[in-house]
Amino acid sequence: MKRILLYFTIPFLVSCGSDKKQNEQGVITPQIEKKEIKNNESPSIIGERIDGPANIRNKPNGDILFELQDNALIETTELREGWYEVLIYGDIEYNEYGIDSIQKGRNIISNGETIGKVLKTHSIGTGRGNDFASAMLHGYTHKNNIKPETIIENAFLKKLSEGKREINLWYDFIKDFKLEENAVSYDKLETYYNYESSAVDPSPGFRIVLLFQKNNLVGFMHSRDLKIEKTKVHKLNWSYYVTFYEDYTEKDQLKFVDYMNEWMIGVD
């Protein structure tokens, strides 16, 4: 389940609406025709976006390290006391792999586009692939500097508040956050998932996994805290939880819990 994106050297890390009806158990009839997900209809959110320009600091209320432009793509840890720890990947020359600092005044470029500027020389980590190299820039920013609708847990809770669990009504959410299919080979459920942030784990596992049975959302796995009414939460191995709606039988819930705990051992 773990993925490796880059090999890094880190000399310093900043510490830093359907017409279908439900039956009495709330299960949707399975005759829903699935809508094709077209990823080219609009840009995917993928991850958190800066509401900027925004300053990134070495600690909450600390020194400013760099500035990011509006809509810059970042990765974050969970919110703590109003602050997020953030991570961005910036393009560097291939022969710069291994540098231990980035200089004040340098533009921060990602995928060929300028997304910010270094305001204070500071230590970084670097990584590389076959034909590219990247700098890892860490820091902290206040929660008001991130567009809340781009944080998947926020968008997920808002979507749940609509009270709609039919799969066809979730395809826009799946497309917006570029969720992938088939998180695990569990034939009783259809799954869509994304990965946790590299700011949390350099080789991240799942962040959110949507669980559908017969075209109806019955639960979700999650690595971050999510509390939903009329659900039951199970602790899994590692740092995961799975939450099920009460209309999904306890027997089926426990079967999935047992399956996932065994599956995780097999891929650790």
- The per-residue pLDDT for range 107-126, each reduced to its tens digit, is 999 999 999 999 999 999 99
What is the structure's pLDDT at 45? 81
Based on the fold, state whether residues 119 and 92 are members of the same structural domain.
yes
Both tokens of residue 53?
A: 């320009």
Whether 30 is in a domain gets the answer: no
Based on the fold, state whether residues 164 and 226 are members of the same structural domain.
yes
Higher-confidence position of 239 and 157: 157
Based on the fold, state whether residues 172 and 143 are members of the same structural domain.
no
Round the average pLDDT of the chain to a whole number and report it. Answer: 85
Whether 25 is in a domain gets the answer: no
pLDDT-based confidence at 18, cuts 50/70/90? very low
Long-range CB pairs of 199-205 (<8 Å, 24+ gap) are: 199/75, 199/76, 199/77, 199/85, 199/86, 199/87, 199/138, 200/77, 200/78, 202/4, 202/5, 202/8, 203/2, 203/3, 203/4, 203/5, 204/2, 204/3, 205/1, 205/2, 205/3, 205/238, 205/240
AA letter at 11: P
Higher-confidence position of 106 and 28: 106
Whether 187 is in a domain gets the answer: yes
What is the structure's pLDDT at 7? 36
Percent of the chain with pLDDT over 90: 72
Based on the fold, state whether residues 261 and 225 are members of the same structural domain.
yes
Q: Which domain holds residue 156?
A: 151-267
Residues 176, 44 contacting (CB under 8 angstroms)? yes
What is the structure's pLDDT at 47? 85
Whether 107 is in a domain gets the answer: yes
Q: How many structural domains are present in the chain? A: 2
Domain boundary among 110, 125, 147: 147
Based on the fold, state whether residues 155 and 263 are members of the same structural domain.
yes
pTM of the model: 0.80
What is the structure's pLDDT at 246? 93
Based on the fold, state whether residues 100 and 185 are members of the same structural domain.
no
**pLDDT score of 9 more than 90:** no
What is the structure's pLDDT at 26? 36
What is the structure's pLDDT at 50? 97
Whether 32 is in a domain gets the answer: no
**pLDDT score of 37 more than 50:** no
The per-residue pLDDT for range 193-204, each reduced to its tens digit, is 999 988 888 888
AA letter at 116: G
Strands 48-49 and 7-9: unpaired
**What is the rounded average pLDDT of the residues 223-231?**
91
Based on the fold, state whether residues 54 and 133 are members of the same structural domain.
yes
Based on the fold, state whether residues 139 and 181 are members of the same structural domain.
no
**pLDDT score of 35 more than 90:** no
**What is the rounded average pLDDT of the residues 36-65?**
81
Based on the fold, state whether residues 163 and 198 are members of the same structural domain.
yes
Domain boundary among 84, 119, 147: 147
Domain boundary among 132, 147, 162: 147
Higher-confidence position of 141 and 30: 141
Based on the fold, state whether residues 205 and 111 are members of the same structural domain.
no
Whether 35 is in a domain gets the answer: no
Whether 258 is in a domain gets the answer: yes
Based on the fold, state whether residues 56 and 143 are members of the same structural domain.
yes
Sheet holding 231-235, edge to edge: 180-181, 190-195, 206-213, 216-222, 241-245, 231-235
Whether 229 is in a domain gets the answer: yes
- The answer, yes or no, to whether the previous bond of 204 is cis (omega within 30 of 0) is no
Closest CA to 106 of 86, 132, 124: 124
**pLDDT score of 87 more than 70:** yes
Based on the fold, state whether residues 160 and 262 are members of the same structural domain.
yes
What is the structure's pLDDT at 242? 96
